[in-house]
Amino acid sequence: MIEISKKRELKAIKDSIEHWKRMIEWVKTQNLKDPICSSLMKININENYYGSNCPLCTIFFKYKGDCNRCPLNIKYGECMKGHEKNTWNSIVSSKNWKEWLKHSKTMIKQLESLM
C-alpha cells in the first residue's frame, strides 16, 4: 500500500482551499440566477468542481485508487455517495450559481477544518 505523507496531505488540503476560492471568485462574476455549468467554468478558468481538478482527489483517488483515506471523506463522508455532512453533493445539485456559492463557502469551511 502506498502511503501519503502528512506533509503532502496538508499541501493538498491547502491547494484544495485555494482551488475553491478561485472558483468562488469566478462565480461572483456570473449572474447568480443562472444555472450552474461546470463546462462554462472549465472553459473560463480551466478548472471546475469535479474530482479531475481536486488536489485531494488527485492524490487519494487518482494516485491511490480510492477515497477511503481522503481526510474529507474520513471526516464528512465520500463526495460521490451523498453523505449528509459532505457538502459536495449540495454543490453539484445546486439550481443556480447563488446556491452553488452558498454551498461552496461551506466546502471551504469543511476543508479548513481538516488542517
Q: What is the pLDDT of residues 45-97, one digit of tens each?
A: 999 999 889 999 988 876 556 788 899 999 998 887 766 788 999 999 999 99
The predicted-structure confidence for 3-40, as pLDDT tens digits, reads as follows 778 899 999 999 999 999 999 999 999 999 999 999 99
CB distance 9 to 111 below 8 Å: no
pLDDT recorded at residue 27: 98
**Helix then strand then coil, % of the chain, to nearest 5:** 60, 0, 40
In a domain, 1, yes or no: no
Model confidence, pTM: 0.91
The cell numbers describing 83, all together, are: 453523505
Residues in contact with 71: Cβ distance below 8 Å, sequence separation at least 6, in sequence order: 9, 13, 56, 114
| Residue 20 pLDDT | 98
**Is the model's pLDDT at 1 over the cut of 60?**
no
In a domain, 107, yes or no: yes
The total of structural domains in the chain comes to: 1
Structural domain including 64 reads: 6-112
Helix (H, G, I), strand (E, B) or coil at 63: coil
d(CA 27, CA 41): 8
User: What's the pLDDT score for residue 60?
Assistant: 84
